[in-house]
Amino acid sequence: MPPIPAASVASLRARTGVSILACKQALEESGGDEEKAIEILRKRGIAQAVKKADREQHEGAIFIAQGNKKAALLLLRCETDFVARSDDFIAMGQGLAQTVLEKGRDAAMADLEKTVPELVQKLGENISTGEVREAQAPSVGTYVHSNRKIGVIIGLDKTGEETKAKDVAMHAAAMNPQYTNPEDVPSDTMEKEREIWSEQMKDGKKPPEILEKIIQGKERKFREENALIKQPFVKDSSMSVEKYLGGATVTEYVRVTV
């Protein structure tokens, strides 16, 4: 038979939560029939995972591991907040984050594929990973909110600045900057904003050159309000995050929410 399309493998994986290799093998055995492939996978002892996989996973928790100037963040998804707060779920998520830190994403995903069916059966919900992020810098700071719904990693280009990195991570968790620097705002985003501002002011009877200056001012404000380093520092609003860092540069910014 012809090779199994990657899209078919992806579809079966989305429905079952099992490994790519297992999905590919099952599809090959079933001649490409997805329903038969599911039966094959169920017979191989992962029936519970397959049975639960069609339910949406809107809940979950964020886990971060940190060490040796590196940090790893992992979002583990489930169906209910009750399971997200359970000891078994938290232990699994933290263990996977530690594996990402020490051995990388692929090793963590291999561990996940081995342990998910058993945990799904125990907790009664489908479980999968969301985002998995890694960061490395001379100084690294992390923050996970108490409810595990927000996680942040900040990397700075200077050594010995772990406290500042952690403070900025807490700031980012609270203030949700979309970008690190003002110039990071994409041009298409700015074009849309400029169109909106122009439409709002089109009946203001101001000369075109005045309107352009107003729009330029709005653009500058928009960029700064959405940029981490230009926001007023949450612990001391008299200074910006940039000023608080005292010359250190943010080289890594990761913010993930459930």
Torsion on CA atoms 99, 101, 103, 105, rounded to nearest 10: 80
Q: Which residue, chain included where needed, has tokens 């807490």?
A: 170
3-state SS class at 247: coil
Contact present, 168 and 246 (Cβ < 8 Å): no
- What integer pLDDT is reported at residue 47 of this predicted model? 46
Cross-strand pairs, 66: 71
Please answer whether residues 16 and 41 qualify as being in contact, where contact means their C-beta atoms are separated by less than 8 angstroms. yes
The dihedrals phi and psi of 169, each to the nearest 5 degrees, come to: -65, -40
pLDDT tens for 63-117 read 999 999 999 999 999 989 999 999 999 999 999 999 999 998 888 888 877 787 7
d(CA 88, CA 73): 18
- Which pLDDT band, with edges at 50, 70 and 90, does 53 fall under? low
Average pLDDT, the chain: 88
Tokens of 4: 């199994």
* Each residue's pLDDT tens digit, 156-207: 999 999 999 999 999 999 999 999 999 999 999 999 898 888 888 877 777 8
* Cβ proximity of 250 and 231 under 8 Å: no
Identity (one letter) of the amino acid at 140? V
- Judge whether residue 20 has pLDDT over 70: yes
Tell me which of 41 and 155 has the higher pLDDT. 155
Which residue has better confidence, 121 or 140? 140
Longest dimension (CA), the chain: 74
What is the set of domains in the chain, with CATH numbers?
A: 6-52 (1.10.8.10), 56-136 (3.30.479.20)
